Structures are given as C-alpha cells and as structure tokens.
Amino acid sequence: MTSPALDSWRTARPISVWLDNSQRPPVRPALERDTRTDLLVVGGGFTGLWTALLAKERDPDRDVLLIEGERVGWAASGRNGGFCAASLTHGESNGRERFGTEYETLHRLGLENLDQIEEALIRYGIDCGWERTGELDVATEPYQVDQLRAADGEFLDAEAVRREVDSPTYLAGSWNRRNTAILDPARLAWGLAKACETLGVRICETTRATALDRDGGDVVVTVEPAAGSVRVRAKRVALGTNVFPNLLRRVRPFIVPVYDYVLATEPLTVAQLKAIGWRNRQGIGDSANQFHYYRLTPENRILWGGYDAVYYFGGSVKPRYDQRSATFELLARQFAETFPQLAEVRFDYRWGGAIDTCTRFCAFYGTALGGQVSYVLGYTGLGVGSTRFGANVMLDLLAGQATERTELEMVRSRPLPFPPEPVKYAGIQMTRRSLAKADRNEGHRDVFLRTLDRLGLGFDS
C-alpha cells in the first residue's frame, strides 16, 4: 500500500517552487507601438537578460530593448534545479570527447565565468540565495566508484560520503568544491531584470516576436502584444529563445525539447535534517546515465528532479506537458529509496519544463543576415551559468570581434541536425532505452549507443 507521504505528490502544487513567490515582480507593460533600438534582445530568460546587461556594460550609450513573450524567467530559467555550474560543455566527459584539444581552455573560461557571475551578484546587489557549496557526485552502483575516483574532485569512500549526506544507496562520492553554486533561479532572473533596468534597458513582457526580416540597413522584428502587431527596427538582434521556435527557421532542426520533471518537499525539520546530515549543503547528482539532481532550497526543502527526460512526438512545447503523473510517481518512489529516513516527508510542489537539447549536448552559436543577428541555443541543461558565457559570445559575434571566445572550435562549429519525424522520435526513444539498459548493465553501452559514439552523437551524463 502506498504511504500518504509517498503519494503526496498528487496534491502538490503544480508550479515551480521558485515561481510561487510573493516577491515576483508585477508584469511589465507590453510593447504597444512601433519603435527603434540599437540592440533588440528576444527572450527574457537567462540568455536574454545576461545579453542585455552585458551589452549596456560594454556600451552604456547603446539603446537596448528586451522583449519576452510571457514573463521574465517564467520558462526554463524559473523551473530548473538552481545549479549554477562552471561547465560550458555539459560536463567534463562530453567536453573532452568533443573538444579535447581546447578543453582546458573551456574549463578555465567556465571557472572565470562562474567567478564573474558571483562578482555581478555582489555588484548589483542581487539576492538569489547564492551558495558556492560545490557539487557532490555520488556512486549508487559499484561500477561507478572507480569513475568517481578518477573525477576532478575530492574522492570520498562510502563512509566519508555518508558523513556528508547519509543515504544507504551511496557507495562513494566526488566533491568538487569550486565548480558549482546553488541559487534561486527565479530570483536571479528577477534580479538581472532589475539590474538591466537600472542601466537603462527597456523590458517589455507579454510581447511575442513572430517574424524577422531585413529592411535596408535594419533588422525588423514583428511582435504581437495583445493590442495587435507592431514592429521593432534594430541595428542588431540577439536571439535568446532557446527551446521555443526560433525566428530563424534554418536553426530549428538542430533543437528538440526534452521535458524534465521535479518534485520539492515540504521544509525539513531540524530533526529530519539531522537524520540525513547535509550540513555543507552541496548540490548532488548521481552517476547514472538517467540521473537525479537534488539540493536543499533556502527553506530547507529538498528539490528532487531529473532521471526521466521525456520527448513528445512532434517536438512541440505545450503547457499540458508540464505535468506527468507517471514521472512524478517514479520520482517519489526513488526519493523514498534514497532517503528512507524521510518516509514521513511530504511533497509540496511538482512541475516540469522543456530543455533545449542538441546532438552535441552543449550550446552552439551562429549569426544571420550579414552578422546583424546572432543566436545561441542547445544548452541541454547546465544553462544557469553558461548562458552568461553564451551572451558574451553573441555580443562578440554582433560586434564582429575576434576574441578568445569566438576563436573556439566550440563556437565556430555546430552540431548535426536531428532527422525529421518519425525518425527523430524513434531515434530518441531508442537512445533512452539503451541508456537505461546501460545503467542496468554496469554502464556497458550496447551496439546502438556505440554507433552513436562513433558518429559523434553519443551521450552520457
């Protein structure tokens, strides 16, 4: 029989714990008339917000307009786990596999980017619960122990890792104290928006971009607020729409939306926290292909997400996909297995959202319309930190500058596109099944996964 606590996800609030906050700013007015600007930023998530902020820091006299089709931070930027990682390549393994000769440079740039985020939070007084506690990777199967022993972090045997966080499933851990901070991502988005406005950025919400054209020396973007269509004429345009249909149709085949789901518990009591330890408040991820990520919120809730990434046929982003009972039930059961000491803890929140995934599992970049439009997308998670780096790349590209960033192979190359349906759906489902099979088989990859590896399409977490 299902325990009331285990089954409590059914009555949990169907909204991100981060967005359910009385401090959420009131909605900003939509753009209601034609306008001109030096730089138009499309998208009010982390990519767009960092782009607008950095653009004004580079040139305070530049007029910058940011438009968002819904609310600032409402999509992936307000629904993620709040892990702000240094990695620009979706982890070391993926980075070394794809960009081996420049990985050390990418690693350095990622750490510098993380330091610069911390500096910006201090400079602008952004209170987003920043805690640079690092990330604890844990082994839950014997074959994973040696992998963590070779990882870039402080190796912890079973006894040592359970002194940090006590789960009977832990066999070892690797704690990298420098590479990750945890934060409240919605408060980060709202704080960045406020900082943008203090520098003179105009922000219009509920203003959806629908078309992009060139007219003379300008780029013209058509937007649709409630009052009807209006046009923005801009010298430069930066696209930060990520998982949503890109205004550049040629870019769309490179992205698919994969849905990720999350539960958040009620706040833990002092006794419940003592039962599991977790005094150092690290972000935690386990080491399987289908992996969980989890952390303590500032209110001492446990945010518990990941594992069951889902692609829906056709690749649409729809509100009804934000809730998936089968995944919430699975996550609740896995939580109980990881922390049996917390059998009476109930879930207060359940939510989901789409991640922009590409075939190389980290961001790619480009320009269009003679260099007047730039874009970055395909983060595949880990975008809380790397979006700032992506924003800098977009601004470099728009300026026509040759920088250390623009000379990177990661920036100059792009991933392979996904095939059309139904091949795309079939391929993604086969990949998911093979990854699950590898997790059950001591990490051994089957013929299908090894073929993807040879084609440069392989994935591990």
Which residues sit opposite 233 in a β-bridge? 36, 220
One-letter amino acid of 438? A
Q: How far apart are CA 146 and CA 139, in angstroms?
A: 9
| Residue count (the chain) | 461
List of E strands, 89-152: 135-139
CB-based contact 18:184 (threshold 8 Å) = yes
CB-based contact 291:306 (threshold 8 Å) = yes
Q: Where does residue 33 rank: exposed (0-12), middle (13-18), buried (19+ CB within 10 A)?
A: exposed
CA angle 53, 58, 60 (to 5 degrees): 80
pLDDT value, residue 1: 43
CB-based contact 384:84 (threshold 8 Å) = yes
Cβ neighbour number for residue 95 with a 10 Å cutoff:
22
Summarised one tens digit per residue, pLDDT across range 246-300 is: 999 999 999 999 999 999 999 999 999 999 999 999 999 998 888 899 999 999 9
What string of DSSP letters covers 285-349?
Answer: EESSSS-EEEEE-TT-PEEEEES--B--TT----GGGG--HHHHHHHHHHHHHH-GGGTTPPEEE
Those residues with Cβ within 8 angstroms of residue 426's Cβ, 6 or more apart along the chain or in another chain: none
Residue with tokens 């580079």: 58
pLDDT value, residue 456: 66
DSSP state at residue 25 = P
pLDDT value, residue 461: 45
Cβ neighbour number for residue 298 with a 10 Å cutoff:
15
What are the CA-CA distances from residue 451 to residues 275, 362, 429, 431, 448 (Å)?
45, 20, 15, 11, 5
Say whether pTM exceeds 0.85: yes
CB-based contact 325:263 (threshold 8 Å) = no
Q: Where does residue 436 rank: exposed (0-12), middle (13-18), buried (19+ CB within 10 A)?
A: middle
Q: How far is CA 362 from the centre of its chain?
A: 10
**Residue 440 structure tokens:** 């059950």
- Report residue 222: phi and psi, to 5°: -90, 135
Per-residue confidence in pLDDT tens, the chain, 461 aa: 457 789 999 999 999 999 999 999 999 999 999 999 999 999 999 999 999 999 999 999 999 999 999 999 999 999 999 999 999 999 998 999 999 999 999 999 999 999 999 999 999 999 999 999 999 999 999 999 999 999 889 999 999 999 999 999 999 999 999 999 999 999 999 999 999 999 999 999 999 999 999 999 999 999 998 778 899 999 999 999 999 999 999 999 999 999 999 999 999 999 999 999 999 999 999 988 888 999 999 999 999 999 988 999 999 999 999 999 999 999 999 999 999 999 999 999 999 999 999 999 999 999 999 999 999 999 998 999 999 999 999 999 999 989 999 999 999 999 999 999 999 999 888 887 877 777 677 776 778 677 777 776 655 54
The strand pair at 135-139 and 283-286 is best described as: parallel
- Report residue 385: phi and psi, to 5°: -90, -45
What are the CA-CA distances from residue 182 to residues 101, 284, 356, 404, 434 (Å)?
30, 10, 21, 28, 31
Provide the edge-to-edge strand list for the sheet that holds 283-286.
154-157, 172-176, 135-139, 283-286, 292-296, 302-306, 256-265, 347-357
CB-based contact 445:431 (threshold 8 Å) = no
Positive/negative CA dihedral, 84, 392, 456, 178: negative
Which residues sit opposite 154 in a β-bridge? 175
Cβ neighbour number for residue 391 with a 10 Å cutoff:
25
